Structure 1
Amino acid sequence: MGIAHALAYLHVGFPRPIVFGNLIPLCILFNEENVAKLFDFSESISIPEGETHILTRSRFGAWTYSAPEYKRGGVFNEKLDVYTFSTVLLELLTGQGTRDLLRTHGSVRHLIEYWKNYLQNNRFTEIADPIIVQDLSCTETEHQFQACARLTLECLNESPVDRPTMVDVTKRLRQIYCSLSCN
């Protein structure tokens, strides 16, 4: 939630949106209180006033984490951060690196279809990180996990228009977190 909040702040907390652009697990550090912090803003770009995106030929970020519109046409906007955030969330939920997941499934599209299939058939715990599965001790926790998985799928949408904003992602993660009622 902390990283989602930080990205949302970059998008709306300044006169011009700032796109982090390179969210990978190595860009997340934890302080002594285990609070997640963004690290390495070297690839961050401020979107010019009045614009919704910039086009760049430069190669930013880790290619396996990049959104389809960036890979195809160099479109750099806030929805790029939404997509890369979801790839990190995917790694957290599965306990596998994005490269490993892509090596197994061949493409993001196949990975998403695989994920949807397990989620729709209530078999997601079969592909989830075993550490998380052992913590699914009550129905509410399992619902939280499934809600995170559905949110991840939304954020991985091929079309940036169909992805939520980071503000929406932050709100939904907060709702998911607050829904926990079992100890």
Structure 2
Amino acid sequence: MKMIVAIKQLNHEGVQGSQEFIIEILMLSLLHHPNLMSLKGYCTDGDEKLLVYEYMPKGSLEDHLFNLGPGKVPLDWNTRMRIAVDTARGMEYLHVKANPPVIFRDLKPANILLDNEFHARLSDFGLAKLGPVGDRTHVSTRVMGTYGYCAPEYAMSGKLTLKSDIYSLGVVLLEILSGRKSIDPNRSRAEQNLINWARPCFKDKTRYIQLVDPALHGRYPWRCFQHFVAIVAICLQEVPAHRPLISDVVVALEYLASQPYYPESSGSRNQSKPSSSHQDYSRY
């Protein structure tokens, strides 16, 4: 039986590559979930080391958010919600179902791969770390990951917790919402750091509209959009204890995904325009 697979070759530069290769094999041999990449096999021959994965035909989330070439259609609202839910479900498995829990540590759009139906799977477990158990509150480790996605307390002290992943998830969710990169040197100085630019908007509902990706062309449900901004904001809290548990994030995102946007039948209720409602969205 023929099978299309994806091959990942070890980067030969430095010892870290070999360590990541071993960690990836161990993690994906033990962890199994529909929203995690499936490792089909691996091979080594001297310095040559290869990982064999299932093939994800739609590439990465990064390709569809930031690398849209001619003829590529931007992700619609419903697809973005599906990807957000799948990503959070994968994280929930790592944090809650895995024993001991696993801190992914390198969540970013490049590590979220998509199948033909745009269902998402987390990939690249080379930096994953077993989380704290028992009375331990954190894991002390060398700071690794990608600039722009690391939680501030981890970047400053090397103290890694499950809440560090929640911050990274918040960054990715904000990228899904806005279509902007976490760090973009091509923008004006005030907008190069996505989180710093977005924080004032979180505090003022009249500015929420500034956060939405123009590529959506107004095709999204306004109330669900407000909920989504609230989820992003709470995940990006600077104090780790103020960030939600991943299971709560999953419940909130699943609710939004259960309210799909159908422009042809939604009428004015789903139009992208500020609502006069003063409902409190903080519980999401």
When the two structures are superposed, what TM-score results if normalisation uses the length of structure 2? 0.57
CA distance in 2, matches of 1:91, 1:162: 21
Assess if the C-alpha contact under 8 Å between 2:149 and 2:182 holds in 1: yes
| Correspondences of 1:24-103 after superposition (within 5 Å) | 24-50=108-134, 51-56=136-141, 58-100=142-184, 103=189
Equivalent position SS for 1:65: coil
Equivalent position SS for 2:244: coil
Assess if the C-alpha contact under 8 Å between 1:112 and 1:153 holds in 2: no
CA distance in 2, matches of 1:47, 1:102: 38
Number of paired residues?
A: 176
Which protein has the bigger helix share?
1
Match of 1:176 in 2: 256
CA distance in 1, matches of 2:236, 2:217: 22
Equivalent position SS for 1:150: helix
Tell me: CA distance 1:114–1:80, structure 2 relative to 1, closer, same or farther (3 Å): same
CA-based RMSD = 2.2
Amino acid at match of 2:235: C
Q: Are positions 1:3 and 2:65 aligned together?
A: no
Equivalent position SS for 2:113: strand
Q: Which consecutive residues of structure 2, in runs of 5 or more, have no partner in the other structure?
A: 1-84, 266-284
**115, 131, 135: which one aligns with 2:201:** 115
**216, 221, 225: which one aligns with 1:145:** 225
C-alpha displacement of 1:178 = 2.0
Tell me: CA distance 1:126–1:88, structure 2 relative to 1, closer, same or farther (3 Å): same
Q: Are positions 1:13 and 2:97 aligned together?
A: yes
C-alpha displacement of 1:112 = 4.1
C-alpha displacement of 1:32 = 2.7
C-alpha displacement of 1:71 = 1.1
Amino acid at match of 1:68: P
Deviations along 1:66-99, whole A, 9 cap, x unmatched? 1011011111111111100110111111111010
C-alpha displacement of 1:104 = 2.8
Return the index of the structure with the highest Cα Rg. 2
**Which consecutive segments of 4 or more residues in structure 1 shift more than 3 A?**
105-110, 179-183
| Correspondences of 1:156-167 after superposition (within 5 Å) | 156-167=236-247
Tell me: CA distance 1:9–1:22, structure 2 relative to 1, closer, same or farther (3 Å): same
